[in-house]
């Protein structure tokens, strides 16, 4: 995950979007009588099972489902055609006795039948990328060395962002792949695919923590405005309690569902909720009397500039979903993907530049990692924004859990060589264990972490891998299979891929090392409003 973003889910929020607002290629419609909604949501199979997002990671299950040889019923049992022996294992094969049977088992989705226009694809990419990272942008401007340096860094980033998205689209066309991990399987092999899945799993996990920290930040801002700077001395106003209580009461019950259709409406409003802080920042800057601020005109050192790059990577990252969105376009051509990615990055550039510029001019070097902490929550406009952000985080967290759980489940099935039948029948038990572990650990980390900037820096490391390293590896893998793919300029493909991997590895290593040494080992800087 979407925050998810994301969404993913940001990232988030993109996987969330894929899982709830529409069924990508490989998903099944399910027919049959309805039942109690809550019971159906918890006990029945999903219209788009979590494993299908990681189809090639879950042994042979995906291929059989896509071929129609096996499908899930409402009671999590396998439905399949006559059995034949295949390599000593019973393998369900497709049997189509009549047209009705075919209509119920074949792949059929609106996206396949109609597809989306490139403008809609751009909106989906924006919805995927735009997330909690926007709240950290004014602080990123300060670390980058001011408005000019940060803007130039953004321009460099959006150019590279478009290039790497097109690289993934190009590589997906070579074998007709429909997912990010399938592209890696085709070009680099199964091991690279598994590593990418781990990266995306960690991204969903990190964004989940970010969302919980943002919830705590909003409560802190609200209580600091209403009760003063000593509010946290009351246990029921302390962020550890408020974050934990909100998570247990409103988030945890939603995480155990296997169908999240009921969240698709809240998810679709996510982009507008994340735009609200941008307009609120401009409004505050334009209407309120603010103190004189100190602003940088250049970065303190080169490392600070490098460390800012992953924060920007995180804000623009939508690479995990660019391939499935491309696969569901009405006219799947690289030119249309180019138009969608350019429109996406230009829109995001405008939004992030407005947020970073006005937020930095308003508060200067004193700006906090979460810009919402700078506002006065007694202002009704700010109060509305705080409420909207909390609702946004509450409704998006389960979607990230959904996607992270699917990734973990797929990796588990792959690494343990779990047979298809056992994989499906054991899903309810694994879902409870994985979800419980996911929820408890993310809440524990979030309740004792006050600086969302630290988590975003770590997520930026993963974003650098997804934006630079994996697309670069895809090109290198294509180079090594140049006879298969009939490359015209193999050396150019190899050179571009190598440069991408070097850039991504350098940024990943430097930022990870700095975060561990400065923010984790030494404690970094805290930004609590309570004294």
pLDDT digits (tens, 9 = 90+) for 44-83: 333 333 333 443 343 334 444 444 444 444 333 444 333 3
Residue 528's pLDDT is 66
Q: Three-state SS for 298?
A: coil
Return all residues near 385 (Cβ < 8 A) that are at least 6 apart.
276, 277, 280, 372, 375
29 in a domain, yes or no? no
How far is Cα 252 from Cα 442, in angstroms, rounded to an integer?
A: 11
Q: Look up the CATH number of the domain holding residue 370.
A: 1.20.1740.10
- Tokens found for residue 9: 């889910």
Residue 514's pLDDT is 80
How far is Cα 256 from Cα 250, in angstroms, rounded to an integer?
A: 12
Residue 9's pLDDT is 32
Helices 147-175 and 302-316, interaxial angle, to 10°?
50
Taking 70 as the pLDDT cut, the residues of the chain under it are 1-114, 259-268, 519-528, 531
- Global confidence as pTM: 0.75
484 in a domain, yes or no? yes
Residue 35's pLDDT is 42
CB-CB contact of 434 with 500 (8 Å)? no
Residue 138's pLDDT is 94
Segments forming the whole domain that contains residue 331: 111-521
Helices 190-227 and 470-480, interaxial angle, to 10°?
170
302 in a domain, yes or no? yes
Count of beta carbons in the 10 Å neighbourhood of residue 520: 12
How far is Cα 172 from Cα 180, in angstroms, rounded to an integer?
A: 8
Q: How many domains does the chain have?
A: 1
445 in a domain, yes or no? yes
How far is Cα 512 from Cα 420, in angstroms, rounded to an integer?
A: 38
Residue 265's pLDDT is 61
Residue 317's pLDDT is 85
345 in a domain, yes or no? yes
158 in a domain, yes or no? yes
48 in a domain, yes or no? no
30 in a domain, yes or no? no
């Amino acid at each position: 995950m979407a925050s998810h973003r994301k969404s993913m889910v940001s990232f988030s929020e993109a996987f969330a979007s894929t899982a709830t607002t529409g069924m990508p290629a490989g998903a099944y419609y399910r027919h049959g009588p309805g039942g109690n909604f809550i019971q159906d949501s918890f006990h029945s199979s999903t219209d788009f099972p979590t494993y299908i997002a990681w189809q090639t990671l879950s042994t042979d299950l995906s291929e059989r489902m896509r071929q129609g040889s096996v499908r899930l019923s409402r009671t999590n049992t396998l439905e399949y055609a006559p059995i034949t022996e295949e390599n000593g294992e019973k393998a369900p094969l497709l049997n189509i006795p009549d047209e009705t049977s075919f209509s119920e088992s074949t792949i059929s989705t609106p996206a396949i039948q109609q597809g989306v226009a490139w403008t809609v694809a751009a909106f989906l990419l924006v919805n995927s990328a735009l997330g909690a990272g926007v709240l950290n942008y004014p602080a990123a401007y300060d670390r980058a060395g001011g408005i000019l340096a940060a803007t130039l860094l953004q321009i460099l980033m959006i150019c590279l962002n478009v290039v790497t998205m097109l690289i993934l689209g190009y590589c997906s066309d070579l074998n007709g792949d429909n997912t990010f991990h399938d592209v890696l399987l085709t070009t680099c092999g199964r091991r690279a695919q598994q590593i990418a899945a781990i990266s995306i799993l960690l991204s969903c996990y990190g964004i989940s923590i970010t969302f919980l920290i943002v919830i705590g930040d909003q409560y802190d801002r609200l209580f600091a405005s209403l009760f003063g700077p000593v509010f946290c001395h009351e246990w029921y106003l302390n962020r550890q309690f408020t974050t934990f209580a909100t998570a247990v009461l409103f988030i945890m019950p939603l995480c155990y569902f296997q169908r999240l259709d009921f969240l698709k409406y809240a998810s679709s409003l996510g982009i507008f909720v994340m735009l609200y802080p941008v307009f609120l920042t401009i409004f505050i800057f334009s209407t309120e009397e603010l103190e004189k601020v100190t602003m940088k005109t250049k970065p303190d050192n080169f490392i600070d500039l490098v460390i800012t790059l992953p924060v920007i990577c995180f804000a623009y990252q939508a690479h995990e979903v660019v391939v499935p969105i491309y696969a569901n376009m009405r006219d799947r051509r690289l030119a249309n993907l180019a138009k969608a990615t350019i429109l996406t990055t230009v829109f995001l550039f405008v939004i992030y530049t407005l947020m970073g510029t006005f937020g930095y001019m308003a508060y200067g070097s004193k700006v906090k990692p979460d810009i919402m902490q700078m506002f006065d929550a007694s202002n009704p406009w700010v109060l509305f924004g705080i409420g909207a952000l909390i609702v946004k985080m509450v409704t998006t967290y389960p979607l990230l859990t959904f996607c992270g759980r699917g990734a973990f489940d797929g990796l588990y099935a792959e690494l343990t060589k779990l047979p298809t039948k056992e994989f499906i029948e054991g899903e309810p038990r694994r879902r409870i264990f994985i979800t419980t572990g996911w929820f408890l650990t993310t809440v524990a980390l979030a309740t004792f972490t006050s600086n969302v900037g630290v988590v975003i820096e770590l997520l930026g490391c993963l974003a650098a891998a997804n934006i630079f390293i994996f697309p670069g590896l895809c090109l290198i893998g294509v180079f090594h299979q140049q006879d298969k793919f009939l490359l015209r300029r193999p050396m150019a493909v190899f050179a571009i891929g190598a440069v991408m991997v070097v850039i991504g590895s350098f940024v990943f290593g430097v930022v990870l090392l700095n975060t561990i040494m400065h923010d984790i080992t030494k404690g970094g800087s805290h930004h609590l409003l309570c004294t």
